[in-house]
């Protein structure tokens, strides 16, 4: 029996696939795959899906560069859903977000998790969103972009800006005013510095996780 024989494809020959970050468990996206996409994923270790809108097989990141290295493929108990455990290289969402699940719905029985803003976006998700935008600015270098102008001046200048913003945070803390705003400026410039030096937020997260343990 072939490996894909365990998978129950629907009447159109497709199966839903959930892509999950193998490192931290974040759900990145949901797509569909046909038998060929699953077989190519298993053979190459790169995530392949089937586009229902275009009617064709596609490799994640073939145009954007945001590929997904698949470390494991799991099938659910009914055989009708797959789980790709992946190592993402860039954001999963076409909007530039790390994950497609960045919006929150709230109702009387379900609220917004603690630590999130009024729009339902927590600090972690916001950092990933901002990091994705900064990475895009580095690639595209759009005219008039402050982020692009920072990177054009080099690592030394960006590092200097991080130092200046850190001082502003200290001053704001001592004065008891505008601490959130100054902290946001510091975080932004720090993310630019990380991007400039090729250090991903995932790498920083791993260090924090290991220290937390």
Residue 49 CB neighbours (<10 A): 24
Helix, strand, or coil (residue 37): helix
Element (H, E) at 69: strand 68-75
Q: Which residue has the tokens 């850190």?
A: 166
Cα separation values, 73 from 69, 104, 213, Å: 11, 28, 28
**Predicted TM-score of the model (pTM):** 0.58
Q: Which of 76, 69, 57, 125 is nearest to 96 (CA)?
A: 125
Is 18 a residue whose pLDDT tops 50? yes
Q: In this predicted model, what pLDDT tens digit does every residue of 178-190 receive, in sequence order?
A: 999 999 999 999 9
- Between 96 and 27, residue with greater pLDDT: 27
Identify the weakest region by mean pLDDT among 20-29, 147-156, 187-196.
20-29
- Between 48 and 212, residue with greater pLDDT: 48
Residue 22 CB neighbours (<10 A): 17
Tell me if 87 sits within 8 A of 69, measured CB to CB. Answer: yes
Helix, strand, or coil (residue 64): coil
Sheet holding 27-33, edge to edge: 27-33, 15-21, 82-88, 68-75
- Between 25 and 187, residue with greater pLDDT: 187
Q: Which residue has the tokens 């995530």?
A: 47
Average pLDDT over residues 147-162: 95
Q: In this predicted model, what pLDDT tens digit does every residue of 91-107 receive, in sequence order?
A: 898 888 888 887 777 66
Domains of the chain: 14-88 (3.10.20.810), 123-212 (1.10.287.1080)
Mean pLDDT of the chain: 88
Cα distance from N-terminal residue to C-terminal residue, the chain: 43
pLDDT band at 1 (very low <50, low <70, confident <90, very high): very low
Helix, strand, or coil (residue 57): strand
- Between 115 and 205, residue with greater pLDDT: 205
CA angle 53, 25, 94 (to 5 degrees): 30
Identify the weakest region by mean pLDDT among 109-118, 152-161, 200-209.
109-118
Is 24 a residue whose pLDDT tops 90? no
Tell me if 75 sits within 8 A of 6, measured CB to CB. Answer: yes
């Amino acid at each position: 029996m072939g490996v894909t024989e365990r998978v129950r494809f629907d009447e159109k020959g497709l199966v839903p696939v959930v892509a999950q970050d193998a490192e931290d468990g974040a759900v990145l996206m949901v797509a569909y795959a046909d038998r060929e996409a699953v077989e190519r994923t298993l053979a190459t270790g790169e995530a392949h899906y089937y586009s229902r809108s275009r009617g064709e097989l596609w490799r994640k990141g073939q145009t954007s560069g945001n590929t997904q290295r698949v470390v494991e493929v799991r099938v659910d108990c009914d055989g009708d859903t797959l789980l790709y455990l992946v190592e993402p290289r860039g954001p999963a969402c076409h909007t530039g977000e790390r994950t497609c699940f960045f919006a929150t719905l709230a109702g009387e029985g379900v609220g917004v998790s603690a630590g999130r803003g009024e729009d339902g976006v927590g600090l972690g998700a916001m950092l990933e969103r901002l990091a994705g935008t900064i990475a895009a600015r580095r690639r595209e270098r759009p005219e008039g972009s402050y982020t692009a102008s920072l990177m054009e001046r080099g690592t030394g200048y960006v590092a200097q800006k991080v130092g200046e913003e850190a001082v502003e945070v200290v001053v704001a803390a001592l004065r008891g005013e505008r601490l959130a705003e100054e902290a946001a400026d510091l975080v932004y410039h720090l993310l630019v510095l990380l991007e400039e030096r090729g250090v991903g937020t995932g790498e920083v997260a791993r260090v924090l996780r290991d220290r937390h343990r």
